[in-house]
């Protein structure tokens, strides 16, 4: 099915639209933007606009790639990369609610929900199945792990590990157990994630060194627990810390 471009929408030369894309009235798709199949761009969103960098040279050839089935609602802005030949990346089946922003060189995984007015700064990385609450803001180069959920109006300046709940300023409040169960993660794997959370957050010492020791011992077999530990050992920024010792069991209150 051919793309559908509504009256007053603008698709500039050099943009690419996959089959079944819908570009609503007033939306703007800039050169270098590559949209997969069935991407919907709602009124007044801008995909592929120049990065908000003072010394950026507009002649640099960069773009944005958006995966199949992603929905981009009203007034969303997704800026193109700053690096020659580079792309800001958005995965498949994501939802970007109204007025959210994705800055240059960010990378957003598949099945991510980005609520209203979320602000992703340059080079932010968001893992698949993450949920970012309305009005939350993310410092450049921060990482949000797979399956994490971040509360509304949170201020994130440190890395948020996979499968956790975070809120306020870099505060981890437990595990996103509801999200893990909805994705039908096996109970054994969830138990391992809980144990890895407990040991990492409530063992004295450097959090990265603790995670590295746990990986080296090889006691965690599930992909989810290992992803949790590997994320913590891999980053360069600080890791968001647990809010209070009463969550030592790694569980979410339900």
By annotation, the residues acting in catalysis are 104-105, 122
Residue 56 to residue 86: CA distance in whole angstroms: 14
How far is the C-alpha of 17 from the C-alpha of 198, rounded, in Å? 46
Whole-angstrom distance, CA of residue 43 vs CA of residue 218: 51
Residues 6+ apart with CB under 8 A from 143: 124, 125, 126, 127, 159, 160, 231, 235, 237
Phi and psi for 46 in degrees, rounded to 5? -130, 120
């Amino acid at each position: 099915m051919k793309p559908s471009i509504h009256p007053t929408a603008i698709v500039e030369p050099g943009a690419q639209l996959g089959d079944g894309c819908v570009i609503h009235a007033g939306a703007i798709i800039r050169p270098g933007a590559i949209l997969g199949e069935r991407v919907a761009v709602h009124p007044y969103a801008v995909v592929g606009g120049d990065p908000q960098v003072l010394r950026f040279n507009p002649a640099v050839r960069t773009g944005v790639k958006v995966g199949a089935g992603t929905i981009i609602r009203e007034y969303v802005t997704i800026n193109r990369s700053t690096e020659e030949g580079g792309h800001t990346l958005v995965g498949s089946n994501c939802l970007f609610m109204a007025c959210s922003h994705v800055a240059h060189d960010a990378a957003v995984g598949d099945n991510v929900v980005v609520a209203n007015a979320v602000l992703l700064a340059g080079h932010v990385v968001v893992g698949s199945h993450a949920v970012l609450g309305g009005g939350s803001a993310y410092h450049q180069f921060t990482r949000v792990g797979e399956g994490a959920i971040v509360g509304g109006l949170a201020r994130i300046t440190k890395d948020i590990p996979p499968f956790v709940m975070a809120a306020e300023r870099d505060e981890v409040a437990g595990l996103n157990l509801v999200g893990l169960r909805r994705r039908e993660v096996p109970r054994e794997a969830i138990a391992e994630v809980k144990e890895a959370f407990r040991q990492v957050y409530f063992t004295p010492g450097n959090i990265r060194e603790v995670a590295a020791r746990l990986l080296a011992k090889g006691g965690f077999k599930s992909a989810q627990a290992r992803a949790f530990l590997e994320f913590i050992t891999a980053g360069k920024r600080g890791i968001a810390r647990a809010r209070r010792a009463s969550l030592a069991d790694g569980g979410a209150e339900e």
